[in-house]
Structure 1
């Protein structure tokens, strides 16, 4: 099987995965306990008014009809109308989605760049004080809950030193007219520092410790000794040969952790009052707002599915030994 056939097969598997994913979402939310109509029912509402409310929400149709309509909406790029907001789900989620993606995406990029770099150095300088201190930092970072780290950072940089804001995404009264004014302004970056530091510190431990362990195995390989015998500089052997052959497990972990981070953004968003998808997801589930809840889960699940797909393609570049059959 050639490269093109392999990519075509993975794209086909991607579509099948999406179909299974959205089907499971539909079934789970329709089978969940609770009645979304209850939030619209007022005291003294007649049976006719209740039936009209159910019809307006599209819940009076058989499940297979609702399923077909749901798939049709997804194919047209629509998530339906929120029961709670009475507005299109996408219009509400598009801003919250970018808020979460930019926050957690920045935290993960910093975490993996720092984690891979220091993990490589920990493996290279095995047995030294640097390695022992680095392992201790990694274990502390991995075992510290995000809410605890966030509170500590708030106490130091916001309440004690007073140099960073305690929450929110921008200053009160800031003008937001365009995408640039919302996300490219200094005020946005200023408010993002503490939550990004919290997420980066927590997720840094995984690539750091994994990279260190993988480096220990790679450094025992014969080709590393050959490169050293050739007289190559130490930094070239480390970064051009040892790191590249150690980074493969990190690629797989990135795909998994990315989805976990996006889905677990609720804690950071709550601590720093960040208007993202995590908080919206929980509120939608509590209100039995099917379209909004399924929209948030769909976007979060899409991050996991797409990241796994990209990880498979990255393996082709990083490891020429990958076989397509």
Structure 2
């Protein structure tokens, strides 16, 4: 199998997997106990209101007709209307995703860079004091709830020292004067950004640090490492080669950790009053905004599938030892 054929096969498999996940989401929401129309209404709705919703949403049609219509709407970008905001779901979710992405993606990437370096330093010197005791900080952070880290940073750097604001994404003055993408170019945004960003970095350093440490311990005594020592290569050159060979397991967990960070920002966003996916999902569950919940789940699933596809491609590019069968 050629490399191009392998990539094409992975694209087809990823598309089929997303299709299967979307199908599962549709039927799981439709087959929940009770009338699906009641999930779209507040409690105490009259029978006339329920029937009106059923008619407008096509819930009186056969289930397979509803399924085909829903898949077509998803394919064309029509995810319905949010109950709580009375706006298109794509518009509501798009703003929240943008706010979460600009917080989670840079935070996770920085966490992986710092965590990987920290883990490599722990694993490079067997039996050292740093290897024995350096594992304590990432384990301590990894077992600490993210909301507690957020509250601790707010208490120290906002309440006690007064260096940063306690929450929100912009000051009241900036909220009145800017909108859209211009928000992210203001000094007020970056001033409010520091503490939430730091929380994400601190929380998600644990995963790459521990994975990289274990990977370095595994590869540091392999033949290529011994050969490089015999060649007399500098410590820095050998360290770079070692990190390259040990980085594959870290790259593997990057998409899932990023997806977990985006979908798991609920408590961090609540602490900092950050208008992202986590806060939107929490409020949508409270408001029983089913279209928004369903679309958010689908986006998270697509992100994980896409991330795994990118990892498979990187595998064949980063490590020449990995080849496609028959190549």
TM-score (norm 2): 0.93
Counterpart in the other structure of 1:130:
130
Report the counterpart of residue 94 of structure 1 in structure 2: 94
Report the alpha carbon displacement of residue 229 of structure 1 after superposing the two structures with TM: 1.7
Q: Is the 8 A contact 1:285 1:293 kept in 2?
A: yes
Structure 1 partner of 2:119: 119
Give the Cα–Cα distance (whole angstroms) in 1 for the partners of residues 40 and 247 of structure 2.
51
Pick closer, same or farther for the CA change 1:137–1:37 going to 2, 3 Å. closer
Distance 1:81 1:249 in 2: 41
1:49 Cα deviation from its structure 2 partner:
4.3
Match of 1:206 in 2: 207
The aligned residue for residue 13 of structure 1 is 13
* Aligned residue in 2 for 1:230: 231
> Who is 1:168 aligned against?
168
Asked whether the 8 Å contact 1:37–1:54 carries over to 2, the reply is no
1:189 maps to 2:193: no
CA distance in 2, matches of 1:38, 1:255: 36
Distance in 1 separating the partners of 2:269 and 2:62: 37
Gap change, CA 1:228 and 1:24, over 3 Å in 2? same
Tell me the matched-pair count: 320
Deviation, 1:62, is: 2.7
**Secondary structure at 1:173 match in 2:** helix
Question: What are the equivalent positions in structure 2 for 1:239-254 lying under 5 Å apart?
Answer: 239=240, 241-254=241-254
SS in 2 for 1:169: coil
1:37 deviates by: 4.4
Structure 2's unaligned 5+ residue stretches are: none
Judge which range, 26-35 or 248-257, deviates more: 26-35
1:199-225, Cα deviation, whole Å (9 max, x unpaired): 211110111111111111211112212
Could you tell me how far apart the structure 2 residues matched to 1:84 and 1:60 are? 23
What is aligned with 2:286? 286
Q: Per the alignment, do residues 55 and 265 of structure 1 end up closer, same or farther by CA in structure 2, a change over 3 Å counting? A: same
Tell me, in whole angstroms, the C-alpha distance in 1 between the residues paired with 2:317 and 2:207. 23
Rounded Cα–Cα distance in structure 2 between residues aligned with 1:31 and 1:268: 32
Question: For structure 1, which runs of at least 5 residues remain unmatched after alignment?
Answer: none
**How far off its partner does 1:86 sit?**
2.4
Deviations 1:229-262 (A, max 9, x none): 21211001101x1111100111111122122111
Residue 67 of structure 1 and its aligned partner are, at CA, apart by: 1.2
Q: What pairs up with 1:269-280 in 2 under 5 angstroms?
A: 269-280=269-280
1:250-275, Cα deviation, whole Å (9 max, x unpaired):
11111221221111111111111111
Change (3 A) 1:60 1:287: farther
Contact 2:41–2:50 at 8 Å: present in 1 too?
no
Counterpart CA distance in 2 for 1:86 and 1:184 is 29
Q: CA RMSD in A?
A: 1.7
Cα deviation 1:146-181 (Å, max 9, x = unaligned): 0111111111000000001111111113122341x1
Please, what TM-score do these two structures have when normalized by structure 1? Answer: 0.93
Do 2:40 and 2:290's aligned partners in 1 also have CA atoms closer than 8 Å?
no
Give me the whole-angstrom Cα distance separating, in 2, the residues matched to 1:309 and 1:149.
32
Report the CA distance shift for 1:59/1:173 in structure 2 as closer, same or farther (over 3 A): farther
